[in-house]
Structure 1
């Protein structure tokens, strides 16, 4: 279940309803899917074949299509990152820069853990959303954020897009942002 840490105060928000209520106020969509429906052999697998990625998409097809229909997403795929990913540290450096997009950034976590760092309202500032299997988040277009892995450095996620070529990051310079 997702947890939130507000960086300015170190306050933690836990519990699905509390997390959802906080993220709603920050205009960030949060949902939870049943990660246990994924076949057991894929629940802790972080190097995937194309067939295994297709199996993940098939397993969550109803949830993906429901979200896509509600939010206008037209295409989706699966991303898997772990220490086995070539050039993982270089990829993470690219991810770990505050940026925006001209469409939502959506992740449905099916295995592992990840964290979105998001710029909230002026009274909140930056906050971390720690995600695990079953958590679904949509950071709205033009909202400054970035994504990275947590200490286990393993994640599998379904990504949904409006634009069929995927999203493009636009750097967001913010002197108030401080790395944790």
Structure 2
């Protein structure tokens, strides 16, 4: 279940409704899908074949199509990051730069954990959204953010896009941001 840590105050927000309410005020969509729908062999598997990825997409087909229909997403895929991912440290350095997008950045975590660091409104500042299996987040177009992994360094996520070419980051300079 997702948690939110507000960086300015250290406040920790827990519980699905509390997290959803906080994120909604920051215009971030949060949902929860049932991760136990996946076959057990895929629930904590970070070495997926093309067939495994297709099975994950098929398992969550109803949820994916519902979200896509409501939000205008046209394409989706699976991303897997773990210590066995080639050049994982270089990839993480790329992800860990604050940036924006010209479309929402959407992730539905099916295994493992990840963290979105997002700049909220002026009263909130930056906050961390710690995600685990079942958590779904849509960071709105134009929001300053980045994604990283927890210390476990492994995640499987469904990514949804509006533009068929997928994820395009636009670097953002913020001298007030501290990692």
Asked if the contact 1:102/1:167 (under 8 Å) is kept, the reply is: no
Shift of the alpha carbon at 1:167?
Answer: 2.1
- For residue 97 of structure 1, give the secondary structure of its aligned residue in structure 2: coil
Aligned to 2:7: 7
- Any runs of at least 4 consecutive aligned residues in structure 1 with deviations exceeding 2 A, and if so which? none
Paired with 1:52 and 1:71, the residues of 2 have a C-alpha distance of 26
Unaligned runs of 5+ in 1: none
TM-score, normalised relative to structure 2: 1.00
Describe the SS at the equivalent of 2:124: coil
Aligned residue number for residue 155 of structure 1: 155
Question: 1:47 Cα deviation (Å)?
Answer: 1.2
**TM-score relative to the length of structure 1:** 0.99
Query: Could you tell me how far apart the structure 2 residues matched to 1:134 and 1:40 are?
Result: 14
Q: Which residue pairs with 1:63 in the alignment?
A: 63
Q: Tell me, what secondary structure is at the counterpart of 1:9? A: coil
Instruction: Give the match's secondary structure for 1:57.
Output: helix
List gaps (5 residues or longer) in structure 2.
none
User: Are 1:139 and 2:136 an aligned pair?
Assistant: no
Report the count of equivalent residues. Answer: 179
Q: Is the 1:43–1:110 Cα contact (8 Å) retained in structure 2?
A: yes
Does residue 23 (structure 1) correspond to residue 26 (structure 2)? The answer is no
**Which residue is 2:103 aligned to?**
103
